[in-house]
Amino acid sequence: MTVTYVIPGAEVTGLERFWQVVGEAVNGPDGYFGRNLDAFADCLSGGFGTPDDRDFVIEWREHELSRRALGHEETARQLRARLARVPEVNRAFVQGQLEDAEAGRGRTVFDWLTEIIDERAPGTLRLL
């Protein structure tokens, strides 16, 4: 039997809220399913609430609302925070990503999340 986890897109107002929403969708009230991109990827690999046999679907309803909330403005905000703690060797790369985001170009937080889902749990994402 396939388990469906519903992400209510209207509730996703930023990345921090996404962590709360996806945690609750998978593991109930106050549930955990990652609090950063690496942890989210690990959770999708199994053992953190999803069925071990990968028989699940992530149904992201009203995803266009989330796409806007997790767009270039949120991406720039996240990259500014990352830039403050990134090693010097990666600073120019992150700075370039930040400049793109501030100009409304490049991948967004929404793209990061959907790409992680597609990579770690292929075929499970339904954007509605």
Q: What's the mean pLDDT in 91-115?
A: 98
Domain count, the chain: 2
Mean pLDDT of the chain: 94
Q: Do residues 12 and 62 share a domain?
A: yes
29 and 40 in a single domain? The answer is yes
Per-residue pLDDT tens digits for 32-51:
999 999 999 999 987 777 76
DSSP one-letter string for 56-96: EEEEEETHHHHHHHTSHHHHHHHHHHHHTTS-HHHHHHHHH
Q: Do residues 40 and 89 both lie within one domain?
A: no
Residues 56 and 97 in one domain: no
Q: Give me the percent of the chain exceeding a pLDDT of 90.
A: 89
What is the model's pLDDT at position 128? 97
Residues 76 and 60 in one domain: no
The rounded distance, in Å, linking the Cα atoms of 97 and 35 is 21
Is the same domain home to 21 and 56?
A: yes
- What is the average pLDDT across 27-35? 95
pLDDT for residue 53:
62
Does 65 share its domain with 80?
Answer: no
77: containing domain: 72-107
Separation between Cα atoms, residue 69 and residue 62, nearest integer Å: 11
Report CA-CA distances (Å) from 77 to 8, 43, 66, 90, 101. Answer: 22, 24, 16, 17, 9
Neighbours of 30 (CB within 10 A): 8
The mean-pLDDT minimum among 51-60, 82-91, 112-121 falls in: 51-60
Tell me the average pLDDT across 15-44: 95
| Same structural domain, 60 and 83 | no
pLDDT for 48: 78
**Are 9 and 31 in a shared domain?**
yes
Q: Are residues 112 and 102 in the same domain?
A: no
Using one digit for the tens of pLDDT, what is the confidence trace for 72-81? 999 999 999 9
Looking at the fold, whether 61 and 122 belong to one and the same domain comes out as: yes
Q: Are residues 51 and 3 in the same domain?
A: yes
| CATH code assigned at 56 | 3.30.370.10
